[in-house]
Amino acid sequence: MVANTILAKIHVAKKQLAMDDDAYRAMLLSVGGVSSSKELTPLGAAKVLRHLENCGFKPVRKFGRRPAPPQDRKALVGKIEALLAEAKRPWAYVDAMASRMFQIDKIDWCTPDQLWRIAAALQKDAHRHGR
Domain extents in the chain: 4-54, 71-128
Write down the pLDDT at residue 125.
Answer: 94
Write down the pLDDT at residue 61.
Answer: 60
The count of other CB atoms within 10 Å of the CB of residue 26 is 13
Write down the pLDDT at residue 62.
Answer: 54
The count of other CB atoms within 10 Å of the CB of residue 32 is 22
CB crowding 48-65: b at 16 or more within 10 Å, else e? bbebbeeeebeeeeeeee
Write down the pLDDT at residue 64.
Answer: 61
Spatial distance between the Cα atoms of 15 and 17, rounded to a whole number of angstroms? 5
- SS3 category, 65: coil
CB crowding 69-90: b at 16 or more within 10 Å, else e? beeebeebbebbeebbeeeebe
Average pLDDT (88-96) is: 91
Q: What residues have CB less than 8 Å from 40, skipping those under 6 apart?
A: 2, 7, 10, 28, 32, 34, 48
The answer to whether the CB of 69 falls within 8 A of the CB of 77 is yes
**Quick one: which of 16, 92, 96 has its CA closest to 49?**
16
Q: Does residue 110 have a pLDDT over 60? A: yes
Tens of pLDDT, residues 24-75: 999 999 999 999 999 999 899 999 999 999 999 987 765 567 787 888 888 9
- SS3 category, 131: coil
